[in-house]
Amino acid sequence: MAILKYADESIQKDLVKLEKRDNELYRHIKNAFMNIQEDPICGIQIHFRQIPKRLKKKYFIDNLYKYNLPNAWRLLYSLMGNKIEIIAIVLGCYNHKDYNRLFNYN
């Protein structure tokens, strides 16, 4: 079981806006949150050397997970904590184009 937190307040605000714009995607994201809370390693782990430097610097992370959503959307999160308490930090939700740009896949 993991505690879910947002890396920064803007992510939570963006999700509130998304609920009104794309309710279906919002429901999938909420479902992903429940799955991550139940099993924090349910996403696909990104190899350390492939984690964008921008994310490493901004959030001071050394691990990154990708949770695939419908229509090529991806939810990125990182894990921290210890054997007793695991915290899943939501870093953002990206469409295909923005995800490729973040990872320099051209």
pLDDT at 84: 85
The CATH number for 72's domain is: 3.30.2310.20
61: containing domain: 2-102
pLDDT by position in tens, the chain (length 106): 899 999 999 998 998 898 889 999 999 999 999 999 999 999 999 999 999 999 999 999 999 999 999 999 999 999 999 878 999 999 999 999 999 999 998 7
pTM for the whole structure: 0.93
Biggest distance spanned by C-alpha atoms of the chain: 40
Q: How many domains does the chain have?
A: 1
- C-alpha dihedral, 37 to 68 to 90 to 13, nearest 10°: -110
